Amino acid sequence: MEIIFRQLNPHACRTYLIGTTGSTEVVLIDPVLEHVRDYLALLEQEQWKLTHVIDTHTHADHLSGGAALKDQTGCEYVMHTKAPAHCVSFRISDGFECHLGDLPVKIMHTPGHTKDSVTLIFPDRLLVGDVLFLDDSGAGRDDLPGGDPGEHWESLQRILTLPEHLVVYPAHEYRHRQPSSLAEQKQRNPFLKLRSKDAYVKFLEDLKLGPAD
């Protein structure tokens, strides 16, 4: 069995398609509303059946395509139990395990950027949403509605305990950085530096982030 894994968007927002060879079933992670027609065209072209759409968190910078894809394909729309969206058809919580097609996946609740943030743990990769970015881009902001620096620190401590071979795929990438293993991110990402919760909160305060775009 080989994994089918594609990043579908031409801009900073990342949408991932996951499936396996030998199966027509696929899932989409963090779809963007403006690209729903493109996703549907790809599904038709490849003769794939969309079974699930998963949003790793409530997005502040774009509209999710989850509801539209649910309406047009009949797929399940999946988010964490704390997600405010009413159109979600299946809600997940920390520790939930299932198979998406032939692929096992485990859900880790990783709040901090938002209350409903989750990380998807596959056998060979992590889809971390905005709880972690790549290299020097750090992580999603905690000073927006639903953000909490202390919760973010706790989530990062959990991620640090995961197997180091897992490749990190964030929901955003602004400068064409390439996904790499958790072991490499521990070396490159300043947000994964070992520090106490109080030190982490001070680290964020010292960043003095400007207004969100």
CA 82 – CA 66 distance, rounded (Å): 16
Q: What percent of the chain has pLDDT over 70?
A: 97
Residue 161 placed within a domain: yes
What beta strand segments (E) does 85-137 contain?
90-92, 97-100, 103-109, 118-121, 125-129
Residue 212 placed within a domain: no
Number of compact structural domains in the chain: 1
Other C-beta atoms closer than 10 Å to the C-beta of 58 total: 20
In this prediction, residues 22-37 reach a mean pLDDT of 96
Pair of tokens at residue 198: 């109080």
Among 59-63, 72-76, 128-132, the minimum mean pLDDT is found in: 59-63
Residue 181 placed within a domain: yes
pLDDT computed for residue 60 by the predictor: 79
Cβ atoms of 66 and 87 within 8 Å: the answer is: yes
Residue 191 placed within a domain: yes
Residue 68 placed within a domain: yes
pLDDT at 211 over 60: no
CA 119 – CA 150 distance, rounded (Å): 17
Residue 143 placed within a domain: yes
- Residue 58 domain boundaries: 3-207
Instruction: Supply the mean pLDDT for the chain.
Output: 94
Instruction: Tell me the pLDDT tens digit for each residue of 85-95.
Output: 999 999 999 99
Cβ atoms of 158 and 139 within 8 Å: the answer is: no
Residue 213 placed within a domain: no
pLDDT computed for residue 146 by the predictor: 87
CATH code of residue 165: 3.60.15.10
